[in-house]
A = this chain, B = another copy of it.
Amino acid sequence: MVRIAIDAMGGDHAPIAVVRGAEAASAEGAGELVLVGDEGKIGPLLTRRSGIEIVHAPSVVEMKESPSTALRRKRDSSISKAFSLLKEGDVQAVVSAGNSGAALAFAIFTLGRIPGVERPAILTIHPNVKGTKSILLDAGGTVDCRPSHLVQFAIMGSVFARHVLGVEAPRVGILSNGEEETKGNELTRETHALLLNAGLNYTGYVEGTDLYNGMADVVVTDGFVGNVVLKVSEGMAEAIVGILKEKIARSTRAKIGYKLMAGVFKTLFRMVDYSEYGGAPLVGVDGVCVICHGKSNERAIKNAIMQAKGFVGKNVNGHIKDAMAVSLARNKES
Protein backbone atom coordinates (compact mmCIF):
# COMPACT_ATOMS: atom_id res chain seq x y z
CA MET A 1 0.00 0.00 0.00
CA VAL A 2 1.40 3.36 -1.00
CA ARG A 3 1.61 5.92 1.80
CA ILE A 4 1.83 9.61 0.90
CA ALA A 5 2.51 12.67 3.08
CA ILE A 6 0.68 15.85 2.14
CA ASP A 7 1.70 19.30 3.32
CA ALA A 8 -1.74 20.29 4.62
CA MET A 9 -0.72 23.90 5.30
CA GLY A 10 0.76 24.67 1.88
CA GLY A 11 -1.00 26.73 -0.79
CA ASP A 12 -3.28 29.72 -1.08
CA HIS A 13 -6.35 27.69 -0.17
CA ALA A 14 -4.82 25.55 2.59
CA PRO A 15 -5.76 23.79 4.68
CA ILE A 16 -9.33 23.37 3.39
CA ALA A 17 -8.51 22.67 -0.30
CA VAL A 18 -5.75 20.28 0.73
CA VAL A 19 -7.94 18.37 3.17
CA ARG A 20 -10.78 18.08 0.63
CA GLY A 21 -8.33 17.06 -2.10
CA ALA A 22 -6.86 14.39 0.15
CA GLU A 23 -10.32 13.08 0.99
CA ALA A 24 -11.19 12.90 -2.71
CA ALA A 25 -7.92 11.08 -3.48
CA SER A 26 -8.53 8.69 -0.61
CA ALA A 27 -11.99 7.92 -1.99
CA GLU A 28 -10.34 7.16 -5.35
CA GLY A 29 -7.95 4.70 -3.78
CA ALA A 30 -4.82 6.78 -3.35
CA GLY A 31 -3.63 4.58 -0.51
CA GLU A 32 -2.80 5.75 2.99
CA LEU A 33 -2.58 9.51 3.28
CA VAL A 34 -0.83 11.51 5.96
CA LEU A 35 -1.88 15.14 6.37
CA VAL A 36 1.01 17.03 7.91
CA GLY A 37 0.28 20.31 9.67
CA ASP A 38 -1.57 22.01 12.50
CA GLU A 39 -3.71 19.29 14.03
CA GLY A 40 -6.05 21.84 15.62
CA LYS A 41 -6.83 23.28 12.21
CA ILE A 42 -6.87 20.11 10.11
CA GLY A 43 -8.77 17.85 12.53
CA PRO A 44 -12.06 19.77 12.52
CA LEU A 45 -12.07 19.92 8.69
CA LEU A 46 -11.64 16.21 8.21
CA THR A 47 -14.86 14.36 7.39
CA ARG A 48 -13.28 11.09 6.30
CA ARG A 49 -11.01 9.41 8.80
CA SER A 50 -10.54 6.06 7.08
CA GLY A 51 -7.19 5.94 5.28
CA ILE A 52 -6.22 9.45 6.35
CA GLU A 53 -4.20 10.34 9.40
CA ILE A 54 -2.79 13.57 10.76
CA VAL A 55 0.82 14.17 11.81
CA HIS A 56 1.15 17.38 13.77
CA ALA A 57 3.59 20.12 12.73
CA PRO A 58 3.34 23.36 14.69
CA SER A 59 4.65 25.90 12.14
CA VAL A 60 4.05 26.87 8.52
CA VAL A 61 6.40 28.24 5.85
CA GLU A 62 4.62 31.30 4.44
CA MET A 63 4.32 31.67 0.65
CA LYS A 64 6.58 34.74 0.49
CA GLU A 65 9.14 33.48 3.01
CA SER A 66 12.73 33.11 1.82
CA PRO A 67 13.62 29.43 1.38
CA SER A 68 16.97 29.85 3.12
CA THR A 69 15.35 31.51 6.13
CA ALA A 70 12.68 28.81 6.24
CA LEU A 71 15.36 26.12 6.11
CA ARG A 72 17.10 27.66 9.13
CA ARG A 73 14.09 28.56 11.25
CA LYS A 74 11.18 26.32 10.25
CA ARG A 75 12.43 22.82 10.96
CA ASP A 76 9.12 22.18 12.72
CA SER A 77 7.04 23.25 9.70
CA SER A 78 4.58 21.04 7.83
CA ILE A 79 6.77 20.85 4.72
CA SER A 80 9.90 20.01 6.73
CA LYS A 81 8.05 17.31 8.67
CA ALA A 82 6.60 15.82 5.47
CA PHE A 83 10.07 15.31 4.00
CA SER A 84 11.30 13.86 7.31
CA LEU A 85 8.55 11.23 7.08
CA LEU A 86 9.77 10.40 3.56
CA LYS A 87 13.40 10.25 4.62
CA GLU A 88 12.49 7.94 7.53
CA GLY A 89 10.64 5.61 5.16
CA ASP A 90 7.28 6.19 6.83
CA VAL A 91 5.84 7.46 3.49
CA GLN A 92 6.92 6.97 -0.14
CA ALA A 93 6.05 10.43 -1.50
CA VAL A 94 5.41 14.05 -0.53
CA VAL A 95 2.86 16.41 -2.09
CA SER A 96 2.98 20.16 -1.40
CA ALA A 97 1.25 23.25 -2.78
CA GLY A 98 3.22 25.51 -0.45
CA ASN A 99 6.23 27.75 -1.02
CA SER A 100 7.96 25.85 -3.83
CA GLY A 101 11.38 27.33 -3.11
CA ALA A 102 11.11 26.11 0.48
CA ALA A 103 9.87 22.69 -0.66
CA LEU A 104 12.92 22.47 -2.92
CA ALA A 105 15.26 23.54 -0.12
CA PHE A 106 13.82 21.05 2.39
CA ALA A 107 13.76 18.29 -0.26
CA ILE A 108 17.46 18.74 -1.00
CA PHE A 109 18.38 19.15 2.66
CA THR A 110 16.33 16.23 3.93
CA LEU A 111 16.41 13.70 1.08
CA GLY A 112 19.67 14.63 -0.59
CA ARG A 113 20.35 14.35 -4.30
CA ILE A 114 20.50 11.17 -6.34
CA PRO A 115 24.17 10.30 -7.05
CA GLY A 116 25.15 11.90 -10.35
CA VAL A 117 22.57 14.68 -10.09
CA GLU A 118 24.14 18.03 -9.31
CA ARG A 119 20.88 20.02 -9.27
CA PRO A 120 17.23 19.01 -9.06
CA ALA A 121 14.66 20.11 -11.63
CA ILE A 122 10.91 20.70 -11.71
CA LEU A 123 9.38 18.65 -14.50
CA THR A 124 6.17 19.75 -16.22
CA ILE A 125 4.06 17.80 -18.69
CA HIS A 126 2.45 19.60 -21.64
CA PRO A 127 -0.25 18.23 -23.93
CA ASN A 128 0.47 18.83 -27.60
CA VAL A 129 -1.45 19.01 -30.84
CA LYS A 130 -0.55 15.41 -31.73
CA GLY A 131 -2.45 14.18 -28.69
CA THR A 132 0.74 13.04 -26.98
CA LYS A 133 2.58 14.82 -24.20
CA SER A 134 5.88 16.66 -24.02
CA ILE A 135 8.04 17.05 -20.94
CA LEU A 136 9.73 20.32 -20.06
CA LEU A 137 12.45 20.58 -17.48
CA ASP A 138 13.65 22.54 -15.62
CA ALA A 139 10.52 24.61 -14.97
CA GLY A 140 12.08 26.54 -12.11
CA GLY A 141 14.09 24.35 -9.77
CA THR A 142 17.56 25.59 -10.73
CA VAL A 143 17.73 29.13 -12.15
CA ASP A 144 21.43 29.24 -13.04
CA CYS A 145 22.38 26.06 -14.87
CA ARG A 146 25.62 24.63 -16.18
CA PRO A 147 25.67 22.35 -19.26
CA SER A 148 26.16 19.24 -17.09
CA HIS A 149 22.95 20.10 -15.22
CA LEU A 150 21.00 20.16 -18.48
CA VAL A 151 22.45 16.80 -19.47
CA GLN A 152 21.26 15.35 -16.16
CA PHE A 153 17.83 16.90 -16.76
CA ALA A 154 17.77 15.21 -20.18
CA ILE A 155 18.54 11.83 -18.61
CA MET A 156 15.89 12.24 -15.92
CA GLY A 157 13.34 13.56 -18.42
CA SER A 158 13.97 10.56 -20.68
CA VAL A 159 13.41 8.17 -17.79
CA PHE A 160 10.16 9.95 -17.05
CA ALA A 161 9.00 9.90 -20.66
CA ARG A 162 9.76 6.17 -20.87
CA HIS A 163 8.27 4.99 -17.59
CA VAL A 164 5.42 7.46 -17.10
CA LEU A 165 4.41 8.46 -20.63
CA GLY A 166 5.37 5.13 -22.19
CA VAL A 167 7.62 6.56 -24.91
CA GLU A 168 10.18 3.94 -25.87
CA ALA A 169 12.99 6.17 -27.22
CA PRO A 170 12.14 9.69 -26.06
CA ARG A 171 13.35 12.40 -28.44
CA VAL A 172 15.33 14.95 -26.44
CA GLY A 173 15.78 18.55 -27.57
CA ILE A 174 17.49 21.62 -26.15
CA LEU A 175 15.20 24.65 -26.11
CA SER A 176 16.80 27.32 -28.27
CA ASN A 177 16.01 30.38 -30.37
CA GLY A 178 16.22 28.41 -33.60
CA GLU A 179 16.85 24.89 -34.84
CA GLU A 180 20.15 25.58 -36.58
CA GLU A 181 23.36 24.76 -34.75
CA THR A 182 24.49 28.36 -35.27
CA LYS A 183 21.67 29.50 -32.97
CA GLY A 184 21.59 29.27 -29.20
CA ASN A 185 23.67 30.76 -26.43
CA GLU A 186 26.75 29.58 -24.57
CA LEU A 187 24.74 27.24 -22.36
CA THR A 188 22.89 25.57 -25.24
CA ARG A 189 26.05 25.20 -27.35
CA GLU A 190 28.03 23.49 -24.58
CA THR A 191 25.04 21.32 -23.68
CA HIS A 192 24.66 20.37 -27.35
CA ALA A 193 28.23 19.06 -27.45
CA LEU A 194 27.65 16.98 -24.31
CA LEU A 195 24.26 15.58 -25.38
CA LEU A 196 25.68 14.26 -28.65
CA ASN A 197 27.53 11.69 -26.54
CA ALA A 198 25.14 11.09 -23.67
CA GLY A 199 23.57 7.88 -24.97
CA LEU A 200 20.16 9.52 -25.36
CA ASN A 201 17.91 9.95 -28.40
CA TYR A 202 19.09 13.55 -28.73
CA THR A 203 17.64 15.35 -31.75
CA GLY A 204 19.27 18.79 -31.48
CA TYR A 205 17.84 22.21 -30.83
CA VAL A 206 14.10 22.69 -30.65
CA GLU A 207 12.13 25.92 -30.69
CA GLY A 208 9.34 27.18 -28.45
CA THR A 209 6.73 25.97 -30.95
CA ASP A 210 8.03 22.39 -30.60
CA LEU A 211 6.77 22.20 -27.02
CA TYR A 212 3.21 22.11 -28.38
CA ASN A 213 3.57 20.42 -31.77
CA GLY A 214 4.76 17.05 -30.51
CA MET A 215 8.18 17.21 -32.19
CA ALA A 216 10.01 16.49 -28.94
CA ASP A 217 9.26 14.27 -25.96
CA VAL A 218 11.73 15.91 -23.60
CA VAL A 219 12.72 19.58 -23.82
CA VAL A 220 15.55 20.75 -21.57
CA THR A 221 16.35 24.29 -20.53
CA ASP A 222 17.51 26.14 -17.43
CA GLY A 223 15.08 26.88 -14.61
CA PHE A 224 14.86 30.57 -15.50
CA VAL A 225 13.76 30.01 -19.09
CA GLY A 226 11.65 26.99 -18.13
CA ASN A 227 9.75 28.95 -15.53
CA VAL A 228 9.12 31.79 -17.97
CA VAL A 229 7.90 29.27 -20.59
CA LEU A 230 5.57 27.62 -18.07
CA LYS A 231 4.07 30.93 -16.99
CA VAL A 232 3.77 32.32 -20.51
CA SER A 233 1.84 29.17 -21.42
CA GLU A 234 -0.35 29.53 -18.35
CA GLY A 235 -0.94 33.23 -19.04
CA MET A 236 -1.82 32.65 -22.66
CA ALA A 237 -4.20 29.81 -21.86
CA GLU A 238 -5.92 31.92 -19.21
CA ALA A 239 -6.19 34.83 -21.63
CA ILE A 240 -7.74 32.68 -24.37
CA VAL A 241 -10.20 31.06 -21.98
CA GLY A 242 -10.99 34.45 -20.41
CA ILE A 243 -11.64 36.10 -23.75
CA LEU A 244 -13.79 33.18 -24.94
CA LYS A 245 -15.90 33.29 -21.79
CA GLU A 246 -16.33 37.05 -21.92
CA LYS A 247 -17.39 37.02 -25.58
CA ILE A 248 -19.77 34.11 -25.00
CA ALA A 249 -21.42 35.87 -22.04
CA ARG A 250 -22.21 38.86 -24.25
CA SER A 251 -24.21 37.02 -26.91
CA THR A 252 -27.26 34.75 -26.66
CA ARG A 253 -26.39 33.21 -30.01
CA ALA A 254 -22.88 32.42 -28.80
CA LYS A 255 -24.29 30.98 -25.57
CA ILE A 256 -26.37 28.49 -27.54
CA GLY A 257 -23.35 27.72 -29.71
CA TYR A 258 -21.30 27.18 -26.57
CA LYS A 259 -23.82 24.66 -25.26
CA LEU A 260 -23.67 22.72 -28.52
CA MET A 261 -19.88 22.77 -28.32
CA ALA A 262 -19.74 21.85 -24.63
CA GLY A 263 -17.80 18.67 -25.34
CA VAL A 264 -15.19 20.46 -27.41
CA PHE A 265 -14.71 23.16 -24.79
CA LYS A 266 -14.52 20.62 -22.01
CA THR A 267 -11.58 18.98 -23.79
CA LEU A 268 -9.93 22.34 -24.42
CA PHE A 269 -10.38 23.70 -20.91
CA ARG A 270 -9.09 20.45 -19.41
CA MET A 271 -6.05 20.65 -21.65
CA VAL A 272 -5.11 24.11 -20.44
CA ASP A 273 -6.20 23.68 -16.83
CA TYR A 274 -3.25 23.23 -14.50
CA SER A 275 -5.48 21.50 -11.94
CA GLU A 276 -5.99 18.66 -14.42
CA TYR A 277 -2.33 17.71 -14.09
CA GLY A 278 -2.18 18.25 -10.37
CA GLY A 279 1.42 19.07 -9.87
CA ALA A 280 4.94 18.91 -11.16
CA PRO A 281 7.39 16.29 -9.92
CA LEU A 282 10.65 17.50 -8.47
CA VAL A 283 13.26 15.20 -9.97
CA GLY A 284 16.84 14.62 -8.87
CA VAL A 285 16.21 14.51 -5.12
CA ASP A 286 16.18 11.04 -3.60
CA GLY A 287 12.45 10.55 -3.19
CA VAL A 288 9.15 11.20 -4.93
CA CYS A 289 7.98 14.77 -4.48
CA VAL A 290 5.14 16.51 -6.33
CA ILE A 291 5.02 20.29 -6.20
CA CYS A 292 1.63 21.91 -6.84
CA HIS A 293 0.64 25.36 -7.98
CA GLY A 294 0.18 27.75 -5.04
CA LYS A 295 -3.40 28.40 -6.09
CA SER A 296 -4.24 24.68 -6.20
CA ASN A 297 -7.85 23.79 -5.60
CA GLU A 298 -9.23 20.52 -4.27
CA ARG A 299 -9.14 18.94 -7.72
CA ALA A 300 -5.49 19.89 -8.29
CA ILE A 301 -4.48 18.44 -4.93
CA LYS A 302 -6.40 15.24 -5.59
CA ASN A 303 -4.76 14.83 -8.99
CA ALA A 304 -1.31 15.58 -7.56
CA ILE A 305 -1.79 12.85 -4.95
CA MET A 306 -2.91 10.38 -7.65
CA GLN A 307 0.14 11.41 -9.70
CA ALA A 308 2.47 10.82 -6.74
CA LYS A 309 0.91 7.38 -6.25
CA GLY A 310 1.60 6.62 -9.92
CA PHE A 311 5.24 7.72 -9.70
CA VAL A 312 5.76 5.48 -6.67
CA GLY A 313 4.03 2.57 -8.39
CA LYS A 314 6.17 2.95 -11.49
CA ASN A 315 9.33 3.25 -9.39
CA VAL A 316 10.33 6.41 -11.26
CA ASN A 317 12.88 7.34 -8.60
CA GLY A 318 14.53 3.92 -8.82
CA HIS A 319 14.73 4.17 -12.61
CA ILE A 320 16.29 7.64 -12.36
CA LYS A 321 18.87 6.26 -9.93
CA ASP A 322 19.70 3.45 -12.37
CA ALA A 323 20.01 5.84 -15.31
CA MET A 324 22.23 8.21 -13.36
CA ALA A 325 24.45 5.31 -12.28
CA VAL A 326 24.87 4.33 -15.95
CA SER A 327 25.68 7.94 -16.81
CA LEU A 328 28.25 8.18 -14.02
CA ALA A 329 29.94 4.99 -15.25
CA ARG A 330 29.91 6.32 -18.83
CA ASN A 331 31.51 9.60 -17.73
CA LYS A 332 34.23 7.73 -15.81
CA GLU A 333 35.06 5.64 -18.88
CA SER A 334 35.39 8.63 -21.19
The answer to whether A228 and B231 have CB atoms under 8 Å apart is no
With both chains docked as a complex, state the minimum distance between the C-beta of A206 and any C-beta of chain B, in angstroms. 10
A261's partner among B180, B208, B261 (CB-CB below 8 A) is B261
Q: How far is the CA of A208 from the CA of B183 in the complex (A)?
A: 23
The answer to whether A251 and B263 have CB atoms under 8 Å apart is yes
The answer to whether A228 and B185 have CB atoms under 8 Å apart is no
With both chains docked as a complex, state the minimum distance between the C-beta of A138 and any C-beta of chain B, in angstroms. 10
Say yes or no: is A227 at the interface (Cβ < 8 Å to chain B).
Answer: yes
* Contact bitstring A100-137, B, C-beta under 8 A = 1, else 0: 00000000000000000000000000011100000000
Looking at A47-55, A242-250, A296-304, the stretch in contact with chain B turns out to be A242-250
**A247's closest neighbor in chain B, by CB?**
B264
Known contacts A232-B211, A233-B208; is-contact A267 B243 (Cβ 8 Å): yes
Say yes or no: is A230 at the interface (Cβ < 8 Å to chain B).
Answer: yes
Q: How far is the CA of A213 from the CA of B241 in the complex (A)?
A: 12
Say yes or no: is A279 at the interface (Cβ < 8 Å to chain B).
Answer: no
Say yes or no: is A331 at the interface (Cβ < 8 Å to chain B).
Answer: no
Known contacts A260-B254, A263-B247; is-contact A239 B268 (Cβ 8 Å): no
**A183's closest neighbor in chain B, by CB?**
B143
Say yes or no: is A190 at the interface (Cβ < 8 Å to chain B).
Answer: no
Residues of B within 8 A of A64 (CB): 180
Number of A residues with CB within 8 Å of any CB on chain B = 63
**A267's closest neighbor in chain B, by CB?**
B247
Give the secondary structure class of A's interface: helix
Say yes or no: is A90 at the interface (Cβ < 8 Å to chain B).
Answer: no
The answer to whether B253 and A177 have CB atoms under 8 Å apart is no
Residues of B within 8 A of A221 (CB): 228
The answer to whether B257 and A259 have CB atoms under 8 Å apart is yes
A230's partner among B127, B208, B242, B253 (CB-CB below 8 A) is B208
With both chains docked as a complex, state the minimum distance between the C-beta of A260 and any C-beta of chain B, in angstroms. 3
With both chains docked as a complex, state the minimum distance between the C-beta of A150 and any C-beta of chain B, in angstroms. 14
The answer to whether B236 and A233 have CB atoms under 8 Å apart is yes
Residues of B within 8 A of A242 (CB): 129
**A266's closest neighbor in chain B, by CB?**
B247
The answer to whether A211 and B235 have CB atoms under 8 Å apart is yes
The answer to whether A177 and B235 have CB atoms under 8 Å apart is no
The answer to whether A143 and B177 have CB atoms under 8 Å apart is yes
Residues of B within 8 A of A180 (CB): 64
Residues of A within 8 A of B (CB): 64, 66, 127-129, 140, 143-144, 175-178, 180, 182-186, 207-213, 221, 223-225, 227-240, 242-244, 247-248, 251, 253-254, 256-261, 263-264, 267-268, 271-272
Extra inter-chain contacts (17) besides given A212-B236, A232-B232, CB under 8 Å: A66-B182, A127-B239, A129-B239, A143-B185, A175-B228, A177-B228, A207-B228, A208-B234, A209-B235, A211-B232, A225-B225, A228-B229, A233-B236, A240-B240, A251-B263, A257-B260, A257-B264
**Could you name 11 residue pairs across A and B whose Cβ atoms are closer than 8 Å?**
A176-B228, A177-B227, A184-B224, A207-B235, A210-B235, A229-B229, A240-B268, A243-B271, A247-B268, A254-B261, A258-B261
